[in-house]
């Protein structure tokens, strides 16, 4: 049994990586107006390898491919639709190169997103049809599986239709599927809503996706201040493995604004709370880098001690 799977089954702390897109931008990779960090697969493959390797050295046991912004429908908008399968599988190869470079047996998760090409990644205007998204998700899932990833990481799932399409496509590969849910507080603060869709209740997203049967559920790309509340909502319908990887800062296509970034030590304190809520998978999303992962790795004894304390 792979080490990551053994840890997951035992309920031990499993550290995943931090952000890829914002880390690439921080390192000087050009961000594209249509695909954000997806273009780095073509223009900056060595920066991707180095970022993966630094996360591994920081203590990550699972690294996530740079494919969040490289779905077939996004690549098609950029003029690379005919190379989608090649580029997506190639992203897995870049992660493998980093694994080989470090000599550490880490797992590779293939990232899938339903985000749109262009200025508004959430696509409220339906730039892409549901049929295009379905074809894109199926091709992407197959390409990641063919590339040799160990699991599929669905990221920023925040609606009830396209996210379900992505989840079904991922499950069709036969690989473990890690479902990443994204949320925020409503304007009046009374409830949780989808991160980019304030008219969609987080309750409805959970109700729609959990029954499809992911293997792991994470609250990700969400502010640290809503994560604990979101976890409690997820736990009402989910008793399997739980993860968290929050974000900090904010996005203005195609750039990330590195403001109000949580200190690594503060992330550890938050992580203790999440572990007490039965979380075993910990990492970072946009704005969080290798220093945050290093801090989580160094805090393993404290995190293990926090298990079972309760909120």
Please give the pLDDT value at position 93: 99
- Which CATH number among 3.30.1490.20, 3.40.50.1820, 3.90.226.10, 3.20.20.330 corresponds to the domain 3-305? 3.20.20.330
Please give the pLDDT value at position 165: 98
Q: Cβ-count burial of 59 within 10 angstroms (0-12 exposed, 13-18 middle, 19+ buried)?
A: buried
**Model pTM score:** 0.96
Q: Are 165 and 114 in contact (CB under 8 A)?
A: yes
CA distance 286 to 260: 12
Please give the pLDDT value at position 1: 82
CA distance 281 to 147: 24
Q: pLDDT digits over 220-262, tens only?
A: 999 999 999 999 999 999 999 999 999 999 998 889 999 999 9
Please give the pLDDT value at position 52: 99
CA distance 14 to 10: 10
Please give the pLDDT value at position 284: 99
Please give the pLDDT value at position 308: 66
Q: Which residues of the chain have pLDDT under 70?
A: 119-126, 308-311
Q: Which residue(s) pair with 185 in the sheet? A: 192
* Three-point CA angle 235, 236, 242, nearest 5°: 15
């Amino acid at each position: 049994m792979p080490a990551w799977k053994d840890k997951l089954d035992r309920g031990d702390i499993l550290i995943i990586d931090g952000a890829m897109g914002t880390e690439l931008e921080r390192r000087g990779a050009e961000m594209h107006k249509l695909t954000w960090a997806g273009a780095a697969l073509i223009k900056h493959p060595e920066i991707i390898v180095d970022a993966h390797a630094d996360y591994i050295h920081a203590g990550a046991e699972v690294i996530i491919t740079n494919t969040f912004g490289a779905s077939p429908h996004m690549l098609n908008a950029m003029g690379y639709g005919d190379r989608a399968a090649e580029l997506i599988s190639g992203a897995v190869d870049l992660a493998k190169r980093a694994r080989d470079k470090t000599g550490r047996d880490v797992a590779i998760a293939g990232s899938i997103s339903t985000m749109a090409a262009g200025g508004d990644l959430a696509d409220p205007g339906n730039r892409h049809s549901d049929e295009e998204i379905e074809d894109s998700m199926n091709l992407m899932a197959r390409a990641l599986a063919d590339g040799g990833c160990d699991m599929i990481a669905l990221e920023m799932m925040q609606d009830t239709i396209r996210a379900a399409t992505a989840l079904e496509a991922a499950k069709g590969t036969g690989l473990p599927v890690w479902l990443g849910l994204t949320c925020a507080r409503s304007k009046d603060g009374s409830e949780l809503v989808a991160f980019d869709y304030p008219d969609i209740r987080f309750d409805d997203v959970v109700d729609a996706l959990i029954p499809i049967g992911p293997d792991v559920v994470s609250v990700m790309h969400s502010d640290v201040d809503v994560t604990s509340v979101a976890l409690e909502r997820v736990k009402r319908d989910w008793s399997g493995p739980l993860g968290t990887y929050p974000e900090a800062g904010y996005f203005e296509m195609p750039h990330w604004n590195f403001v109000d970034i949580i200190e690594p030590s503060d992330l550890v304190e938050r992580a203790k709370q999440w572990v007490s809520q039965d979380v075993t998978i910990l990492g970072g999303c946009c704005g969080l880098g290798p220093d945050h992962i290093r801090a989580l790795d160094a805090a393993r004894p404290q995190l293990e001690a926090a298990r079972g304390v309760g909120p």
